[in-house]
Structure 1
Amino acid sequence: MNTHSYPHIQTTNASDLRVAIVHYWLVGMRGGEKVLETLCRMFPQAVIFTHVYAPDQMSDLINSHEVRTTKISNLPMARSMYQKYLPLMPNALAKLDLTDFDLIISSESGPAKGVKTRADAVHLCYCHSPMRYIWDQYDVYRQQAGLITRTVMPALVGKLRSWDQQSASALDGIASNSNHVANRVKTYWDCPSHVVHPPVAVEDFSPVPASELGEFYLWAGELAPYKRPDLAVEAFNRLKKPLIVIGGPPKTERTLSRLANPEYVHFLGRVSFDKMKAYMAHCRALIFPGEEDFGIVPVEVMASGRPVIAYGKGGALDTVVDGKTGLLFQDQTVEGLIQAVTDFEAQGLDKLPAHSIVKHAQKFSEKVFVERFLAFARDHGLDIALTEE
């Protein structure tokens, strides 16, 4: 499991607050769980509520907190089949009584809001994404589901959408992790939100001297279809330029490797954090052809002093500055990516000064997240601030 170093967090006027954090499920350490870790550092007294909890897959920091689960955790094979129980989760949340808590933070990507609170308590939501299963990715998830799920989904999705909107309207405030997500919150929940970018451990990354840079490009992350690794593989087959691909799962890697020309495209699978950092710092640029809600990997690469070639949609619009920290392209096709790489080299963007790229990445540090989240909380009546050391 990757370990990250963060600056010490100490807040004022927060220790007496009774804090509950509701997180959709705890079955692995991904971007949402990294945000949860920061919230745990901000509120060390917080009790965590979740539908399903797999402590062997979680960090020591999260495991150090009291974690309480909903009734979903008692259902058969809940740790592996939790998404099958999505229609039952709103009712499971409604059974939670959080009236003993002064501050409730819902960490939302799956169902995490809709809990019972006191009238004078403050209920804030940090939205990683409105549930894709029932909104913009509904058709995709239904097509990929089994026969029984495909059959019952149309009857359930209306009720889930209604619950999602009603529980959102009861919140005291919503923070979205990007402008892209804020637009989706407005579209699906009809609610305004404040953009607070997620924390990235930028202190863990650093550039190398220009003389040590490699000639290879890098694709890194989970090999999920929406991240479009297939575009990168085919584009670099045709460009005849070196591309390193890091990530899993192995089954997807094997499928993609059959499409790749091994002379140019090399698959390394999942690698250690130290190796990942080294490839980030030495690459010519990161290739980021998918559309994501935020996207932590581009910020990590920029914290390493290297530019990013990104599809100009989603969270990349918040993180990559066209011509300053990389290049944004609009045509999400193999031809569009080939043209982007060609333009990137023609414009000399691989020679962008590392120090300016690193300086930009610092805007997404954990300290900045804490400051912005606490400012968001103060806007909703909480007298909490980051203590200067």
Structure 2
Amino acid sequence: MRVAVVHYWFTGYGGGERVVEALAEMFPQADFYALVASRRGTPPGLRGRRITTSFVNRIPGAKRWHRHFLPLYPFALEQFDLSKYDLVISSESGPAKGVIAPPHACHICYCHTPMRYLWDMYHEYCRGMGPLARAAFSATAHFVRQWDVSTAARVDYFVTNSEYVAARVRKYYRRESTVIHPPVDVSSGYISRNIDDYYLVVSRLVPYKRVDLAIEACNRLGRRLLVVGTGPEFKRLQNLGGPTVEFLGKLDEKPLRECYARARALLFPAEEDFGIVPVEAQSFGRPVIAYGDGGALETVIGLGAGADAATASGVFFEAQTTESLSEAILEFEKREASFSPEFIRGHAQRFSKERFKDEFLRFAVNRLTGYRFLVEEASSCSAVAAV
């Protein structure tokens, strides 16, 4: 069986790239395709593997400013010749599912999210642009959005990373999907008996992550906060931080693990499609104080609603405001000693890479078998009709 994996772009390392790495382990003979790929952005698990890129990859600046080439991507994806493959897996957050799979092939789309800058966060993206850029993007987005909807019909089966994203796929594409949570490295987590007096944020420093809420809440309460991550908001957030807030920038794996293991709790104020960071924190037995919406509702067991502190893995706050997060921190501190690191770490194991590989492989084999049967039946009917 010949397998093709189509990813939107390899320009950084995040949840989408972890999924592709897991697929590479599951299908060691698979071929990989991407609109754009940089050497530094290629995941470690794909180094040495052949990646076919589109013509956009040869345009100066494309690797750095890949989102600016959105109008070219529909045409670029359709130039990939996938005629020799039996199974096509598209990894979609940026455009990927628009490839043209051959009639005999089964096309499975693992949708991390419909493109947020075209759909649910479109107006937020526009607000951050100047007048000319906004006008150009609006005109482009209108046509790419139509193309995006039409390409949903090219997919035989959708898989989503959370129920939250499944609802978005249903709304925008009118398609049902199967939820298979993405792989998270939970094997390196451990429980530390030495917990320090700080809260932790691990995040890219971009506006929608709402790191400002964590900073403002810790300023207000006088709590120590460590912020791990970099991004365009770094200077603004640094200026916002008070004397109890420390910015560590990007950390290597070992010091990051130590930060996770010794934190009182992780603060997670973002509304995410899934959210790998809360699962990573829980793999170290640390509770999560999270905004009660999006993927966090599927990865964190909140205090209350039938769960006491011993069978919970965190606390939810209801609104993305400093006040709501501050109240959640105080609520957590009342019950802090009752949380069970062993229970929290055990809960995180539900999101392991091994579990993802098992679930996705069983799904793919079952769907591929069923799809081949349908193709054979259709061919038989056509042959009978011709006679």
- When normalised by structure 1's length, the TM-score is 0.90
The DSSP-based 3-state class of the residue aligned with 1:25 is strand
Deviations 1:201-250 (A, max 9, x none): 100111112xx11121111111111111100111111101111111113x
Residue 301 of structure 2 corresponds to 321
2:226 to 234, 244, 255: 244
* Residues 48-197 of structure 1: pairs in structure 2 closer than 5 A: 48-197=32-181
Residue 184 of structure 2 corresponds to 200
Residues 73 and 79 in structure 1, CA contact (< 8 A), matched pair in contact too: yes
> Does residue 372 of structure 1 match 2:359?
yes
> Does residue 260 of structure 1 match 2:241?
yes
Deviating runs (4+, > 4 A) in structure 1? none
Residue 339 of structure 1 corresponds to 327
Instruction: Give the distance between the partners of 1:268 and 1:154, measured in 2 at CA.
Output: 37
Instruction: Give the superposition deviation at 1:156.
Output: 2.6
Instruction: Give the distance between the partners of 2:201 and 2:360, measured in 1 at CA.
Output: 31
Instruction: Give the superposition deviation at 1:167.
Output: 0.9
The DSSP-based 3-state class of the residue aligned with 2:36 is coil
The DSSP-based 3-state class of the residue aligned with 1:268 is strand
Deviations 1:271-307 (A, max 9, x none): 1111110110111100001101111110011000010
Instruction: Give the distance between the partners of 1:381 and 1:48, measured in 2 at CA.
Output: 19
Residues 307 and 350 in structure 1, CA contact (< 8 A), matched pair in contact too: no
RMSD over aligned CA atoms reads 1.4
Residue 278 of structure 2 corresponds to 298
User: 1:68–1:231: structure 2 CA closer, same or farther, 3 Å change rule?
Assistant: same
Instruction: Give the superposition deviation at 1:180.
Output: 0.9
Unaligned runs of 5+ in 2: 304-311, 371-387
Q: Which moved more, 1:54-63 or 1:142-151?
A: 142-151
Instruction: Give the distance between the partners of 1:28 and 1:361, measured in 2 at CA.
Output: 25
User: 1:350–1:293: structure 2 CA closer, same or farther, 3 Å change rule?
Assistant: farther
Residues 26 and 361 in structure 2, CA contact (< 8 A), matched pair in contact too: no
Q: Which moved more, 1:310-319 or 1:148-157?
A: 148-157
User: 1:269–1:60: structure 2 CA closer, same or farther, 3 Å change rule?
Assistant: closer
Instruction: Give the distance between the partners of 1:295 and 1:58, measured in 2 at CA.
Output: 21
1:357 to 319, 344, 350: 344
Residues 20 and 46 in structure 1, CA contact (< 8 A), matched pair in contact too: yes
Which amino acid is the alignment partner of residue 351 of structure 2? Answer: F
Residues 40 and 61 in structure 1, CA contact (< 8 A), matched pair in contact too: yes
Instruction: Give the superposition deviation at 1:146.
Output: 4.8
Q: Which moved more, 1:37-46 or 1:139-148?
A: 139-148
User: 1:116–1:170: structure 2 CA closer, same or farther, 3 Å change rule?
Assistant: closer
The DSSP-based 3-state class of the residue aligned with 1:56 is coil
Residue 375 of structure 2 corresponds to none
Q: Which has the larger radius of gyration?
A: 2
Instruction: Give the distance between the partners of 2:130 and 2:75, measured in 1 at CA.
Output: 23
1:225 to 207, 211, 215: 207
Instruction: Give the distance between the partners of 1:364 and 1:60, measured in 2 at CA.
Output: 21
Residues 326 and 349 in structure 1, CA contact (< 8 A), matched pair in contact too: no
Instruction: Give the superposition deviation at 1:28.
Output: 1.2
User: 1:350–1:64: structure 2 CA closer, same or farther, 3 Å change rule?
Assistant: farther
Which amino acid is the alignment partner of residue 237 of structure 2? Answer: L
Residue 3 of structure 1 corresponds to none
Residue 213 of structure 1 corresponds to 195
Residue 283 of structure 1 corresponds to 263
Residue 14 of structure 1 corresponds to none
Instruction: Give the superposition deviation at 1:137.
Output: 1.2
Q: Which has the higher contact order (CA 8 A, sep 6+)?
A: 1
User: 1:76–1:350: structure 2 CA closer, same or farther, 3 Å change rule?
Assistant: farther
Instruction: Give the distance between the partners of 1:258 and 1:265, measured in 2 at CA.
Output: 10
Instruction: Give the distance between the partners of 1:357 and 1:98, measured in 2 at CA.
Output: 44
Instruction: Give the superposition deviation at 1:322.
Output: 0.6
Which amino acid is the alignment partner of residue 236 of structure 2? Answer: T
1:272 to 252, 261, 266: 252
Unaligned runs of 5+ in 1: 1-16, 384-389
User: 1:77–1:340: structure 2 CA closer, same or farther, 3 Å change rule?
Assistant: same
Residues 114 and 167 in structure 1, CA contact (< 8 A), matched pair in contact too: yes
Instruction: Give the distance between the partners of 1:185 and 1:213, measured in 2 at CA.
Output: 41
Which amino acid is the alignment partner of residue 373 of structure 1? Answer: F
User: 1:146–1:340: structure 2 CA closer, same or farther, 3 Å change rule?
Assistant: same
Instruction: Give the superposition deviation at 1:350.
Output: 4.8
